[in-house]
Amino acid sequence: MPEENQRPQQSSGPGGGGPRPGGGPGGRSGPGGKRGKRSYVRRKKVCRFCVDKVDLIDYKKADVLGQFIQERGKILPRRMTGTCARHQRWLSVAIKRAQNIALLPFGAEI
């Protein structure tokens, strides 16, 4: 059928095509995970460490690490900070070390 592909066929890359539900990888778990109902499309978050080309996340830098934890001391998930998987692994190791040496809190102080 020669006329089947009348619409220009875009290659559906990581951004996600139009008719695909869920809104792409960024918003996959965003709006509650209901298929077909997208309330918003999250803009693409970049990993801060990949942009700066960081090869080692230092556990002694509490000011940097402190941006990735809640006030209660819990580590923020990747979908909130936009970190890539590799850096999230390194980050969590560094955060736990910093927590052990009292540079970062484990939980909320009463």
d(CA 98, CA 61): 8
Q: Is 8 in the site for another protein (CB under 8 A)?
A: yes
Residue with tokens 């996959």, as numbered in its chain? 28
Q: Is 6 in the site for another protein (CB under 8 A)?
A: no
Looking at 49, 59, 87, 88, which residue binds another protein (CB under 8 A)?
A: 59
Which is nearer to another protein, 10 or 67 (by Cβ)? 10
Q: Is 83 in the site for another protein (CB under 8 A)?
A: no
Which is nearer to another protein, 33 or 107 (by Cβ)? 107
Longest Cα–Cα distance of the chain, Å, equals 71
110 secondary structure, DSSP code: -
Query: Least distance to another protein from the beta carbon of 30, Å?
Result: 26
Q: Is 50 in the site for another protein (CB under 8 A)?
A: no
Residue numbers at the binding site for another protein (CB under 8 A) = 2, 5, 8-11, 53, 55-56, 59-60, 62, 97, 99-107, 109
